[in-house]
Amino acid sequence: MSVVDAATRGRRKVPAAVTTASLLVAWGTLLAAAPYLPTSSGIRPVALFVHLAAVVLGFGAVLTLDWSGLMWLLGRQDLATLVSVARVVQTPIWLGLGLLVVSGAQLSPDTSSPLTVVKLVAVLAVALNGQWAGRVQERLACLGNARPSRRLLGAAVLVATISQAGWWTATLVGFISAQR
């Protein structure tokens, strides 16, 4: 079975516009509903633990993928290895991001604070970029071990840069908010 077959087998494609619209609606709902969500002081330590564990899970998986991408760019790893790493880290990345949103909502985010808005925009960017990353990975998988075009290479580097910028921004803002 080729890498492409393996990557696409058994998966029904959801149109990009549908997933983008769903992510935007979910993000808008989170922003609007966050101030009204019931929270309690008893649940806060649990939510904070889940939040930090989800950073480890999601960001850890993202770092694994981006490190693997860097090794490929430096010629120390082949494309087929990068594609299989990309496939196995999808679940921890999306699970981590989902848990961050659910637990973050329980931490009484102050959506009137510009810093919180910056963080939520970073989270939205991470989610939308993750979708685009999936499409770039599919195109890379189609190459086998052939050289990608400059355009595809540029897209892969841009996707990884946006992902790193988004995750580090959210982590930094979370850290700053927790100091206040």
Q: Which is nearer to ligand HEM, 35 or 154 (CB)?
A: 35
Distance in Å, CB of 11 to ligand HEM, minimum: 25
What lies within 8 Å, CB to CB, of 125 at 6+ separation is 162, 165, 166
Please report, for residues 6, 38, 103, 145, the alpha-carbon distance to residue 49 in angstroms, rounded to integers and kept in the order given.
36, 18, 9, 41
Element (H, E) at 86: helix 79-105
Q: Which is nearer to ligand HEM, 86 or 107 (CB)?
A: 107
Distance in Å, CB of 27 to ligand HEM, minimum: 9
Q: Which is nearer to ligand HEM, 55 or 85 (CB)?
A: 55
What lies within 8 Å, CB to CB, of 132 at 6+ separation is 159
Distance in Å, CB of 9 to ligand HEM, minimum: 30
Dump the DSSP string for 137-171. Answer: HHHHHTTTTSPPPHHHHHHHHHHHHHHHHHHHHHH
Helices 150-179, 114-141: axis angle to 10 degrees equals 150
Query: Which parts of this chain interact with ligand HEM (CB under 6 A)?
Result: 30, 34, 48, 51, 55, 59, 100-101, 104-105, 107, 109, 123, 126, 167, 170-171, 174-175, 177-178
Q: Which is nearer to ligand HEM, 141 or 162 (CB)?
A: 162
Q: Which is nearer to ligand HEM, 4 or 121 (CB)?
A: 121
Distance in Å, CB of 103 to ligand HEM, minimum: 8
Dump the DSSP string for 91-117. Answer: HHHHHHHHHHHHHHHTT---TTSHHHH
User: CA-CA-CA-CA torsion for 16, 17, 23, 26, nearest 10 degrees?
Assistant: -150
Distance in Å, CB of 92 to ligand HEM, minimum: 13
